[in-house]
Amino acid sequence: MLTREFLLKADCKTSFGDIEETLLWSCEQRAASLAATLACRPDHSPVWIFGYGSLMWNPIFEADEIAAGWLEGWHRAFCLRLIAGRGTATHPGRMLALKQGGRTSGLAFRLPEARLHEELALLWKREMITGCYLPTWCELQLDDGRSVTALTFIMDPRHPLYESDSCPEAIAPLIAAASGPLGSNAQYLFSLEEELTRRGMEEENLSRLAHQVRSLQQSHCLKQA
């Protein structure tokens, strides 16, 4: 599992797998992206992060508050070709991102202002290795009735790793087979399904995808037996 200690020490060129040089972002590029994002900070209110994938069960950054909520206008989609971490360039998997349309439930994390830059720099190292996301300030509705502005990582459809076809039939075989230095692509999907279920946020499409991946893996095991 990805840990804070691992991420602090990680060399992005090698720690997540072999990433094509033209795709890999430099430290300077990540720093510039973070600075540009903070320059667009809507106001001086606390900075919240919206977690809709692995941030929900393994955020690794420090937060002063965690609250359930939802984002209107975006939905989960495994539309990012996964070539590192839990996949490789030769056997790519699929990673989660947000695409336009629908609604997404998740967790909002309020970051401590005193450690804001430190925590965000760590987050950028985790999410922006190839610059595949568009860090965007979005309005979140929290379950307790509050409305907050949160930083959300949305898929950049112009990125070379973007995949338009994210239907279960296309991506289930990829997720079932892919793995990398951080583990298997399937385990990521199963962990997400488990976390959503635990929090009463089940999504029918995601559960169906997880079922298909399990069936493919069981079929493969039977063939190997």
| Catalytic residue (one of 127, 163, 193, 195) | 127
Q: What is the CA radius of gyration of the chain?
A: 17
Written as six digits, the tokens of 185 are 């692509």
Q: Would you call 2 exposed, middle or buried from its count of C-beta atoms within 10 A (0-12, 13-18, 19+)?
A: middle
CA gap 125, 149 in Å, rounded? 22
User: CB neighbours of 144 closer than 8 A, spacing ≥ 6?
Assistant: 67
- DSSP states along 107-172: EEEEPPGGGHHHHHHHHHHHH-SS--EEEEEEEEEETTS-EEEEEEEEE-TTSTTB-S---HHHHH
Tell me whether residue 202 is one of the annotated catalytic residues: no
CA atoms within 13 A of residue 38's CA, in its CB half-sphere:
16
Instruction: Answer for the pair 130, 12: CB distance below 8 angstroms, yes or no.
Output: no
Active site residues: 127
